[in-house]
Amino acid sequence: MDLFNGGKVRLSLHEEKIESLPVEKIQGSTIKEFLKQYTKMLFRVILITGVIRLFEALVCWIPTGDILSRFVNNCIGFCQDTTIVFCVALVMSPLVLLLFVAKRNLLVSFFRAIVIVMSIISICLVEVYSQASFPLDGVMFQYSLSEIVEIIQNSMGNVFISLVACILTFAICLLILFVRNLMPDKWQLVFLLVVVLVSSCVTVIYNDSPLKNNYNERTNKVVYFLRNLRETRANGLEIPSKIHVKKFQSNFPNQKFISVQSPFLHTAQYSNSLAPFFELRNDMPNIVFICVEGLCRENCGPGSKYQSATPWLDSLIEESLFWPNCFSTSQKTCGALPAILGALPIGVSGFMSYRGNAPNYYSTPKILEKNGYTFSFLYGGNPSFDDMDSFIE
| 111 backbone dihedrals φ, ψ, rounded to 5° | -60, -45
Predicted pLDDT of residue 359:
82
What does the alpha-carbon distance between residue 255 and residue 265 come to, in Å, rounded to a whole number? 10
What does the alpha-carbon distance between residue 137 and residue 331 come to, in Å, rounded to a whole number? 10
Q: Which residues contact 199 (CB under 8 A, 6 or more apart)?
A: 78, 79, 80, 82, 83, 86
Enter the pTM of the model: 0.62
Predicted pLDDT of residue 154:
65
What does the alpha-carbon distance between residue 268 and residue 265 come to, in Å, rounded to a whole number? 9
Predicted pLDDT of residue 65:
62
| 266 backbone dihedrals φ, ψ, rounded to 5° | -145, 165
Task: Read off the DSSP letter of residue 211.
Answer: T
Predicted pLDDT of residue 210:
65
Q: Domain boundaries in the chain?
A: 2-235
* Mean pLDDT of each 10-residue bin along the chain, 393 residues long: 41 40 51 84 92 89 71 88 90 85 82 92 88 75 68 66 88 90 84 89 78 79 85 60 85 87 83 84 88 77 77 86 80 82 81 80 90 89 81 83
The tens digit of pLDDT for each residue in 283-341 reads: 888 999 988 877 777 777 777 777 778 888 888 888 888 887 777 777 777 788 899 99
What does the alpha-carbon distance between residue 161 and residue 157 come to, in Å, rounded to a whole number? 9
Closest of 376, 393, 372 to residue 285, by C-alpha? 372
Predicted pLDDT of residue 50:
92
Predicted pLDDT of residue 234:
58
What does the alpha-carbon distance between residue 89 and residue 53 come to, in Å, rounded to a whole number? 19
Q: Using DSSP, how many helices (H) and how many strands (E) does the chain show? A: 13, 0
